[in-house]
Structure 1
Amino acid sequence: MVSVGGVGEWGAAAVGQSVGVVAAVIIGYGWAISGPAIIAKSAHGDYITVLKESIYTRLVLLGPTTLVAAAACLFLIPNGRNLYTILGLLSTALLGLRFNWFLIGLGRPYVMLLTETLPRVAATLLGLVLMNMTSSMAVALIAQVIGLVLSALVSAFWAVTYVRRYAALPHEAVPPIKQSILTHRFGMSAAIVSAFYSSGPLILIGFTSPASVGTYAVLDRIIKQLFTAASPLIDALRGWVPRHDSSVQRRRAKMALAATAMGSGFAALLIVLVGAEVVKWFSDSQVEPDFWTMTCFGLFFAASLFSMVLGQVVLISFGLVRNLFYTSVLTATSGLLLAAVLSTFWGVPGVLISLVCGHALGILRNLRTLQSHLRE
């Protein structure tokens, strides 16, 4: 995409995608975080209640959220690149309509692969082919949007068909929208703060160090691809850790954290050693980061991965959603404030090391919260 559209158009789309990440969290209203644990612990009869509640809530939030996000994108990007910004927004905002959390909670990875992942990947690959044929980056973004809509419809159809078999079982009535919004407010709030912490730096660096936007946009895209690659493992943990038996859940939580610590450490080392060449290839040689930048980037990925599993998998499994929200606020506030200062002096490395510091504070607080809970 960088070679076809250039760093400018790529940066405009990246800003739209960053805003779209926050919009996706608002539309999804925390179901991606708390949903798998709810399904994993729910009786079969309650599946239909949970599914209907999530659909109603997200449809109510879809329109207003998308309009506000689009207005923000038009404000941030000059008129000549509005198209790429809006398409970038839609290519991530519509992620809030996904039903992967329901499939994860059921422990159906193959169904998720066929109904949710395959349509998105196929549309993205087709978009890349058409982009090279037409020399238009917009074509690739449109294909991504179509893939998201298609995957949401296919996975929704499967989920609705699946829960119908339990319609005759006793289940609670679907709560009113207002009650649902109040019930899930901490999960949504934690998710939106985390999403802003992930997307905010790109917007921030556009004000403090405009010359670094292209470089950070490429790094930001790469880390999103890394998390996309790691998402099957993270999703598996979301459905594996939560259990009715508290002793089993504790054991699985410890195993998940130990495996994540080792995996994130190895990934950080790999990024430091070969990451610069990957970035150079990914950006068509338009971005060539130095060793210090890649070291900060490796630490950022490792801290982000461990923080996600600790908070959004382990703490959620134990029902500590409110604590996760408070930690998310601490992480985002400290990291972004430090980034606002360091980015003016050190550019991209300053932003990355600031985000690492924010994650470190959040990890320490979450570990203390988990330790206190396990002692009870």
Structure 2
Amino acid sequence: MKVMRGMGSKSPLLRRFAGFTFVPLVGTLAPLLLLPIAARVGGIDGWYSLSVGQAVGTFGSIVISYGWNVLGPALVATTSAEESLSAHWAESLRERLLLAAIVVPIAALISVFLASPEYVGFTMAMAVAFSLGGLTPNWYFIGRGDPTSIALYDMLPKLVATLLTALIIFMTGSLWAYPALWILSSLVGLLAAHRSVGYPPIFRGSRISTTLRGLRKRLGVAMIDGLGGVYISAPVPIAGATGSIAGAGMIASADKLYRFGLIAVTTLGNTLQAWTLEPDAPNPRNRHLGAILAHTILGVIGMCGLGLLGEFATSLLFGAEAKATGAAMWYYGIAFLAVSSSTPLIRNLLVPAFKTRFVLAGTSIGALVGVASMFVLGNAAGPEGVALGFMISELVLLFIIAPASVGQLLLTDREASAS
């Protein structure tokens, strides 16, 4: 079965960087047209409910993705046989569809207990819509160095949905278009991507025992991703549980701006991963060091940008009622530096070498310390305490994985010298 290769793993790095920059940039700017409208139309209760539904759905999507967003690109980047690539795609979709049937209803139920009373149904719909993000085809095209397919099958449907949603909310004053059109765009993009890879059979000819074996094989990476998702998704719900809806709305604004910034980290990581891991790359150590340096520089720039401009930016985007404080934005800025610095260590060094126990240890301890810190500091210091606890979680992960990453880099260098 023939699979469309798109740009291919041999695309020049500059072309790859341009593609992986343009696609997320458009995807980032589109919500900037929608969310300010939604924040003002829904008021603080609607803004909080939208954000908490997104948070629960984001965690659900991480569970559904089951580590494929982390492991999948490296697996595809190091695979050349067309039949094997089709098998990877079918196996991933089979596992994630089965998980979605379980996770989506649970996410909707959890959102009921966190929603503002006036927005229960809407919050459930947001949780469902964002849970379906776990079915994204992006990991496959990232591994193939093919940003064009990401634009066609993920960015374009979501861009159309976002622009239509902004228009409908502005005209009707109702937020319901957001989850409805987001669900539709996710399903349309997935079906189109499945068609582009040649309709490999998903369930036909497969056994449940084979699927369960695959789930067990990726359990370590999935646990890393899932535990990371706990503290990634926790700030807004914990801020609502430990304080007022107004305080949670402020954290929601800080969190949104922070996640806009993380698009840059994802872009850089996607651009460099396939290049760094090319099997026949000359001097792989230099490529790893280049990726680490680039992510560190990006982290410093992002930290300063969030810390210095974050309060003004959240006021401008989401309104004075929901703006974040300067202190909260500096905490999120330091977290941004930690995430950017840890990205090449996890994606390019530890996970491809199957040294996931170090990442699992760091993520587990980071999740435990982070969630506890957010809850304790949130009760003691309000929303800024929640932001501080979130920062702590990301720093803990970075400090734990750094020594193992240095060891793997030295091993990679020795192996390259020996060969």
Aligned to 1:319, the other structure's residue is in SS state: coil
For residue 198 of structure 2, give the secondary structure of its aligned residue in structure 1.
Answer: helix
| Counterpart for residue 28 of structure 1 | 65
| CA RMSD between the two structures | 2.2
Question: How is 1:212-251 mapped onto 2 (pairs within 5 angstroms)?
Answer: 212-245=247-280, 248-251=283-286
Shift of 1:173: 10
Per the alignment, residue 416 of structure 2 pairs with none
Structure 2 residue 105 is matched with structure 1 residue 67: yes
Aligned counterparts of 2:383 and 2:285: Cα–Cα separation in 1:
39
Structure 1 residue matching 2:320: 3-state secondary structure: coil
2:135 is equivalent to residue 97 of structure 1: yes
Listed as ranges, the gaps of 5+ residues in structure 1 are: 165-171
- Structure 2: stretches of 5+ with no match in the other structure: 1-37, 412-419
- Match of residue 124, structure 1, among 143, 147, 162: 162
Matched, 1:13 2:50: yes
CA shift for structure 1 position 175: 7.4
Q: CA deviation at 1:189?
A: 0.7
Equivalence for 1:148 = 186
> Given the alignment of the two structures, is residue 349 of structure 1 paired with residue 390 of structure 2, yes or no?
no
Letter in 2 for 1:286: E
Q: Which residue of 2 aligns with 1:84?
A: 122
1:83-126 CA-partner distances (Å, limit 9, x unpaired): 22112112310111111111011111112112221111121111
1:54 to 74, 92, 101: 92
Pairing 1:137–2:171 present: no
Whether contact under 8 Å (2:378, 2:386) holds in the other structure is yes
**Structure 1 counterpart of 2:233, one-letter code:** S
After superposition, the Cα gap between the structure-2 partners of 1:357 and 1:79, relative to the gap in structure 1 and judged at 3 Å, is closer
Give SS of 2:319's match.
Answer: coil
Take 1:301 and 1:374, find their aligned partners in 2: how far apart are those partners? Answer: 23
One of 225, 233, 238 as aligned partner of 1:204: 238
What's the offset of the Cα at 1:34? 0.3
Decide whether the 8 Å contact of 2:257 with 2:310 is kept in 1. Answer: no
- Report sequence identity in percent: 23
1:286 is paired with a residue whose SS is: helix
Matched, 1:42 2:79: yes
**Distance in 2 between residues matched to 1:193 and 1:232, nearest whole Å:** 23
1:177 to 208, 211, 217: 211
Q: Partner residue of 1:167?
A: none
Looking at structure 2, the residues matched to 152 and 142 of structure 1 have their Cα atoms a distance apart, in angstroms, of 16
CA distance in structure 1 between the aligned counterparts of 2:304 and 2:354, rounded to whole angstroms:
33
Matched residues in 1 for 2:406 and 2:320: separation? 46
**Number of the residue aligned with 1:254:** 289
- Are the structure 2 counterparts of residues 78 and 290 from structure 1 closer, same or farther at C-alpha, using a change threshold of 3 Å? closer
State which drifts further: 238-247 or 16-25: 238-247
2:399 is aligned, of 361, 364, 369, to 364
Cα distance in 1 for partners of 2:242, 2:117 equals: 21
CA separation in 1, counterparts of 2:166 and 2:376?
Answer: 38
Assess, with a 3 A threshold, how the Cα gap between structure 1 residues 246 and 58 changes in structure 2: closer, same or farther. same
Give the aligned partner of residue 301 of structure 1.
336
The answer to whether the 8 Å contact 1:70/1:89 transfers is yes
TM-score (structure 1 length as normaliser):
0.91
TM-superposition CA deviations, 1:306-332 (whole Å, max 9, x none): 233432344223332232122110111
What is residue 220 of structure 2 aligned with on the other side? Answer: 186
Letter of the 1:199 partner, please give it.
S
Instruction: Tell me how far 1:291 sits from its aligned partner.
Output: 2.8
| 1:159 partner letter | V
2:43 partner amino acid: G
Q: 1:78 to 1:286 in 2, by over 3 A?
A: closer
8 Å CA contact 1:116–1:154 kept in 2: the answer is no
| Compared CA separation, residues 288 and 95, structure 1 to 2 (3 A) | closer
Deviation at 1:229, TM superposition (A): 4.9
Contact between 2:48 and 2:116, CA under 8 Å: does it hold in 1? no
Following superposition, the deviation at residue 64 of structure 1 comes to 1.1
SS in structure 2 at match of 1:43 = coil
1:282 aligns with 2:320: no
Q: Is the 8 A contact 1:27 1:65 kept in 2?
A: yes
Q: For the Cα contact (< 8 Å) 1:50–1:174, is it kept in 2?
A: no
CA drift of 1:142 comes to 1.9
CA contact (8 A) 1:127 1:142 kept: no
**Is contact 1:100-1:112 (8 Å) kept?**
yes
Counterparts of 1:328 and 1:297, CA distance in 2:
18
Q: Over residues 173-229 of structure 1, what are the superposed CA-to-partner deviations in whole Å (9 max), with x where a residue is unaligned?
A: 997111011011011111111111110122222222234111111112222222235
Quote how far apart the aligned CAs of 1:247 are: 6.3
Q: CA 1:209 to 1:249, structure 2 compared with 1: closer, same or farther past 3 Å? A: farther
Corresponding residue pairs, total = 368
The answer on whether the counterparts of 2:331 and 2:387 sit within 8 Å (CA) in structure 1 is: yes
